[in-house]
Structures are given as structure tokens and as C-alpha cells.
């Protein structure tokens, strides 16, 4: 069976963002490099588990810069059998629909994929739109917020999953191929093994361009973007002040604090 897992490289969770000349920039105070989108670690784990159970390939796929290969190496080190980078200047400035257009073409390019796995959202763009848009572009069934794959029969071409809802869970069956997004309840992502890291460092990761995917210039990237980041700005700093509540005992300080909070209508 062929499974593709879409992985996005994102800033680390401790990165500090700022706006510079209308663009969002970030640094990590501890110097941490960019990481695999944390939600995608669950998607990678699930793709590997499917490959281990049913055989075939678990292919990690990223649309991004050359630097995004680091995210693909993490996926390989965890156990993905292949990794593919999709990169082209023509894709720069893509909105989620443009990203989905390219990812759908790259998934189609792998041929005979039965399951495409995504994280529930990316921690930077944070829209959660890409998964559904890829499903629409491919014409496959989207199964979102999956917390368990209960049954998958590649020969019969069927899948049954449990989906997490706000107030409970539901079980849904579909015919393959499907696009699924997973939530953290689905599994416990493994750590890359030492052997896996060595294998990943030696791996040749192919790059697919717009021409390889037969994509017209202008079908993705800034020119095709329907969303324009016309005005990106930082919120002005909040006007705050600090007051130290004095007192001889803890009890006295707590009493004064409670009175202050009541007077300010905080409680």
C-alpha cells in the first residue's frame, strides 16, 4: 500500500515573531532550528504504522525551501521509506489553496496512493485549511480529526476511522483513497532511532519542480494567491503597570489583594 504523509517545516514552538517591512520574521531565543510541525509528528507516526502493517511505502512530502529537507530527514529517521521535496520559485507566496494545488499534484505524481495523512493544522499558518483543500483538489474523501484508524483493508479498498468531535466521537467508513487529518489522541510518535538518523543523513531526497508536476506557471504562488497579506502589523504593546501588595503577613497580603480584585471588579 502507498501512503503519503504531508509534513510542514515550522518555526520551533519557542520562536519569537516580529513584523519587518510587512513580513513575518522569527528567531528562537535559544537558537533552536525550525522543526517538523508538531501536529505532523502524529501524522508521520500513523503513516509509518500503516506501512509496517500493510507493507508498501510511507512517503513524506513537503512543499518548501531546500531547508525543509531537514523536516523530511526527521520523517525518514522516524521510519518513512521515502521523502520528496516539492520546491520551485513559482510556488513562493502561495496561499493555502495554492499550497493544496501543488501538494495534490505531488500526491498524484506518486501514483496509486491510497491514503494521504496530514496533521490537524500547522502551528504557524494555523488555518487547518490545507487538508480539506487537497482532498477537494484530488476528489478524494476527506476524513478530518481522526483519533483512530479502526480498520483499513487495502484489497477491499475500505477504511473505517473514529473522528473526534467537540462533544464526543463518531465512527465513519469510506472507500479509499482518502485524505485524513489526525489528532494527538491517535498515537504516541516514536523518537528517531540512531540507525534511522544515520540512514536519513545519507538519503538522497529528490526535488520535484512545477515542470515535473506539469503545473502551469501562475496556478500557484503569489500570482495565483486569492489571499493577500495586505497589512501585516504587530499589535501595539499593552499599557500595563505592576503593583506590589504590601503587608506584614501572607494573610494580610491576601486579604488586601482580594479587596483590590473585588474593587476592580476582576472577581
Ligand X SMILES: Cc1cc2nc3c(=O)[nH]c(=O)nc-3n(C[C@H](O)[C@H](O)[C@H](O)COP(=O)(O)OP(=O)(O)OC[C@H]3O[C@@H](n4cnc5c(N)ncnc54)[C@H](O)[C@@H]3O)c2cc1C
Residues at the contact surface with ligand X, assessed by CB under 6 A:
6-8, 37, 39-40, 43, 61-64, 92-96, 99, 103, 118-119, 121-122, 124-131, 222, 225, 227, 229
Please state, in angstroms and rounded to a whole number, the distance separating the CA atoms of residues 246 and 186. Answer: 50
Q: Which is nearer to ligand X, 158 or 219 (CB)?
A: 219
- CB of 211 vs ligand X, minimal distance in Å: 19
Scanning the structure block, which residue is given the C-alpha cell 501512503? 3
The CB-of-228 to ligand X minimum distance in angstroms stands at 6
CB of 136 or CB of 253, closer to ligand X: 136
Name the closest residue to ligand X (Cβ): 125
Which of 1, 6, 55 has the alpha carbon at shortest distance from 182? 6
User: Least separation, in Å, of the C-beta of 247 and ligand X?
Assistant: 48
Q: What is the DSSP string of 169-230?
A: EEEEEEESSEEEEE-GGG--PPPPPHHHHHHHHH----EE-TTTTTPPTTSSSGGG-S----
How do strand 57-63 and strand 82-86 relate by DSSP bridges? parallel
Residue 214 CB, nearest approach to ligand X (Å) = 19
Q: How large is the angle between the packed helices 96-110 and 130-138, nearest 10 degrees?
A: 50
Question: Residues near 65 by Cβ (< 8 Å), separated by ≥ 6?
Answer: 87
Residue 8: closest CA among 113, 94, 111: 94
Cβ-based nearer residue to ligand X, 26 or 156? 26
Is 217 or 245 the residue whose CB approaches ligand X more closely? 217
Distance in Å, CB of 131 to ligand X, minimum: 5
Q: Which is nearer to ligand X, 125 or 253 (CB)?
A: 125
Amino acid at each position: 500500500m502507498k501512503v503519503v504523509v504531508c509534513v510542514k517545516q515550522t518555526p520551533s514552538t519557542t520562536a519569537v515573531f516580529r513584523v519587518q517591512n510587512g513580513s513575518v520574521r522569527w528567531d528562537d531565543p535559544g537558537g533552536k532550528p525550525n522543526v517538523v510541525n508538531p501536529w505532523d509528528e502524529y501524522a508521520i507516526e500513523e503513516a509509518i504504522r500503516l506501512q509496517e502493517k500493510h507493507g508498501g511505502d510511507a512517503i513524506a512530502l513537503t512543499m518548501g525551501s531546500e531547508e525543509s529537507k531537514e523536516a523530511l530527514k526527521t520523517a525518514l529517521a522516524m521510519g518513512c521509506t521515502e521523502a520528496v521535496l516539492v520546491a520551485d520559485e513559482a510556488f513562493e507566496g502561495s496561499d493555502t489553496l495554492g499550497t493544496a494545488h501543488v501538494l495534490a499534484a505531488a500526491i498524484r505524481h506518486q501514483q496509486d496512493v491510497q491514503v494521504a495523512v496530514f496533521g490537524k493544522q500547522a502551528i504557524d499558518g494555523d488555518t487547518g485549511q490545507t487538508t480539506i483543500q487537497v482532498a477537494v483538489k484530488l476528489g478524494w474523501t476527506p476524513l478530518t480529526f481522526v483519533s483512530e484508524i479502526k480498520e483499513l483493508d487495502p484489497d477491499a479498498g475500505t477504511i473505517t476511522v473514529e473522528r473526534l468531535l467537540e462533544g464526543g466521537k463518531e465512527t465513519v467508513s469510506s472507500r479509499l483513497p482518502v485524505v485524513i487529518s489526525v489528532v494527538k489522541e491517535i498515537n504516541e510518535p516514536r523518537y528517531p532511532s540512531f540507525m534511522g538518523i544515520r540512514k536519513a543523513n545519507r538519503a538522497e531526497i529528490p526535488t520535484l519542480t512545477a515542470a515535473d508536476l506539469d503545473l502551469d506557471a501562475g496556478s500557484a504562488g503569489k500570482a495565483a494567491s486569492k489571499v493577500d497579506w495586505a497589512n501585516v502589523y504587530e499589535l501595539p504593546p499593552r499599557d500595563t503597570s505592576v503593583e506590589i501588595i504590601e503587608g506584614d503577613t501572607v494573610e494580610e497580603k491576601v486579604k488586601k489583594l482580594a479587596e483590590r480584585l473585588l474593587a476592580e471588579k476582576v472577581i
